[in-house]
Chains A and B, each alone.
Chain A
Amino acid sequence: MRAIITVIGTDKVGIIAEVSRVLAENQVNILDISQTIMQDMFTMIMLVDVSKSKIAFSALSDTLSSLGDALGLSIRIQHEDLFNSMHRI
């Protein structure tokens, strides 16, 4: 299963490193990554493969969410199909 991770918040050093570390620890593979600054907000979007993840999706979601809290950012992970179905026929 593929999922989209979005990281939104104030820019600081080491955001990608921290998120990547959590993903690597849990065997989540990063397939694509892009980041930019939009309206002064750091926004990063990652496409990841969670099929070999060591932990359940809900646990991964909680882990990323707590990392977001620690970094002062909003981090979400959502099934790729949500975006496909909403924006593609």
Chain B
Amino acid sequence: MINRLEILETIKMISEEHLDVRTVTMGISLLSCAANDIDTVCTRIYDKITHQAEHLVKTAVDIETEFGIPIINKRISVTPAALICESIKDADSFVKVAQALDKAAKTTGVDFIGGFSALVHKGATRGDKLLIDSIPEALATTDKLCSSVNVGTTKAGLNMDAVRKMGEVIKQTAHLTEDKDGFGCAKLVVFCNAVEDNPFMAGAFHGVGEPDAVINVGVSGPGVVKCALEKVKGADFGTVADTIKNTAFKITRMGQLVAQEASKRLNIPFGIVDLSLAPTPAVGDSVAYILEEMGLEQCGTHGTTAALALLNDAVKKGGVMATSYVGGLSGAFIPVSEDAGMIAAAQSGALSLEKLEAMTCVCSVGLDMICIPGDTSAETISAIIADEAAIGMVNNKTTAVRVIPAPGKKVGDVVEFGGLLGSGPVMNVNLKSSADFIARGGRIPAPIHSLRN
């Protein structure tokens, strides 16, 4: 029989330390749904998703029961909608596509559906432009739909026309969801180096290099890492890194098990496990608390970037041995509104937007779930996106921006989103203008990677 202490350790991780599988995400290709007629596209999309994902939620719930592991979200990601709607001629029709996706999500019972997306890192087609124009209304008239736009890659550089446009789209989305404090923006993410197999929202989509359908799993467990570190107080960084690696291995093995079971039962190939540390607003399930456990008085102070770099690397090193295929965003997430420690640090002033930007250089994934004043200009939002995308482009990593310019809110106010999305203190942005910089447009050329210094 398995060792008693090991059994009790697992039980404690689940019952007291918030160990869970964050998401089982089914990727579904919609390439076969393309058509000239909008109604045909919508019908094909709805039918394909509801057929393919018919048993997804039930299977995940069965696995949850049999293994006693909470699976917090069940999600679907689909082919970027701009690709299958290239023949559609107006933005209003794209809103119908968004609603068809939302309806399919509701029928299958999943928590979110991602893939109302466009990949415009080098330039936008007519379909891409129409989709981007339709994002504010699409997000305002749906509940489960998430949208993402890729504006840059290391190989292509940054599409600054798209960066400028996305600043406006985010403002407009906040305006159309004003009654919910700009909640629409929580479902919209702007990427550099977006990945094709990401199981996490709001940025999940099913890339064109993927098979017809696939199962991807994202794990969680900041609370488990924090509790493990409590046992090595004062030890040197070698011990800290080893402790995190050991814990990440166990967390990821659980993700691998769930992914394999789901894949077997649904008869859909297993794609990847995302080696992630995803926080929730629950006390004790925070990435910030891990950094503080390492010896920082509060997350955001000097030393935070180094602590996060160690954490992120150790999570990957521990996790990579535990699963046969690694992918997605893989790393520690730092979404401010979803992390009790980050919220506290932002409220006390210890954590600033500038420090968060530095932190995103060494972790996954970017400026995430950050509330900014409602009167922040579109150009400033575009400039925030440009900075973050530049970090991703130059450092060969995925970066993203998901900011919420909460209408009518000022620095120090708190925006309540509820559920996994938590609550966000409105953070200070630099008030000097970036308008002339953003107005230039064009492309920032891809960086050179042969003369590394």
Per the bound structure, the CA–CA distance linking A3 and B66 in Å amounts to 9
Shortest Cβ gap from A42 to chain B (Å): 12
Answer whether A86 and B253 are a contact pair too, CB < 8 Å, given A4-B7, A6-B8, A80-B2.
yes
Closest to B256 in A: A85
Shortest Cβ gap from A33 to chain B (Å): 9
The reply to whether the CB of A87 lies closer than 8 angstroms to some CB of chain B is yes
Per the bound structure, the CA–CA distance linking A24 and B15 in Å amounts to 27
Query: What is the total number of residues of chain B having a CB less than 8 Å from a CB of chain A?
Result: 22
Query: What is the total number of residues of chain A having a CB less than 8 Å from a CB of chain B?
Result: 27
A35-71 interface bits toward B, Cβ cutoff 8 Å, 1 = contact, 0 = none: 0101000010101000000000110010000000000
Shortest Cβ gap from B84 to chain A (Å): 38
Q: Find A43's partner among B2, B8, B67, B257 (CB 8 Å cutoff).
A: B8
| B253 CB contacts on chain A under 8 angstroms | 85-86
A77 engages B68 (CB within 8 Å) = yes
| A32 CB contacts on chain B under 8 angstroms | 1
B1-12 interface bits toward A, Cβ cutoff 8 Å, 1 = contact, 0 = none: 111101111110
B69 engages A82 (CB within 8 Å) = yes
B1 engages A87 (CB within 8 Å) = no
| B68 CB contacts on chain A under 8 angstroms | 61, 76-79, 82
Shortest Cβ gap from B425 to chain A (Å): 36
| B4 CB contacts on chain A under 8 angstroms | 34, 36, 43, 45
Closest to B11 in A: A6
A82 engages B1 (CB within 8 Å) = no
Q: Find B62's partner among A34, A36, A58, A85 (CB 8 Å cutoff).
A: A58
Shortest Cβ gap from A71 to chain B (Å): 17
A83 engages B10 (CB within 8 Å) = yes
Q: Find A85's partner among B9, B15, B254 (CB 8 Å cutoff).
A: B254
The reply to whether the CB of B250 lies closer than 8 angstroms to some CB of chain A is yes
| A3 CB contacts on chain B under 8 angstroms | 66
A57 engages B2 (CB within 8 Å) = no
| A4 CB contacts on chain B under 8 angstroms | 2, 7
The reply to whether the CB of B65 lies closer than 8 angstroms to some CB of chain A is yes
Closest to B13 in A: A86
Q: Find B65's partner among A6, A58, A87 (CB 8 Å cutoff).
A: A58
Shortest Cβ gap from A39 to chain B (Å): 11
Closest to A38 in B: B8
B66 engages A86 (CB within 8 Å) = no
Q: Which residues of A contact B (CB under 8 A)?
A: 3-4, 6, 8, 32, 34, 36, 38, 43, 45, 47, 57-58, 61, 74, 76-87
In order of increasing CB-CB distance, the 10 nearest A-B pairs are A78-B68, A87-B6, A85-B257, A82-B67, A58-B65, A83-B2, A32-B1, A79-B66, A79-B67, A86-B253
A-B contact pairs, 7 of them (CB 8 A): A38-B8, A57-B65, A58-B62, A79-B67, A84-B2, A87-B6, A87-B10
Apart from A61-B65, A80-B2: 9 A-B pairs, beta carbons within 8 A: A58-B62, A81-B67, A81-B257, A82-B68, A86-B10, A86-B250, A86-B253, A87-B9, A87-B10
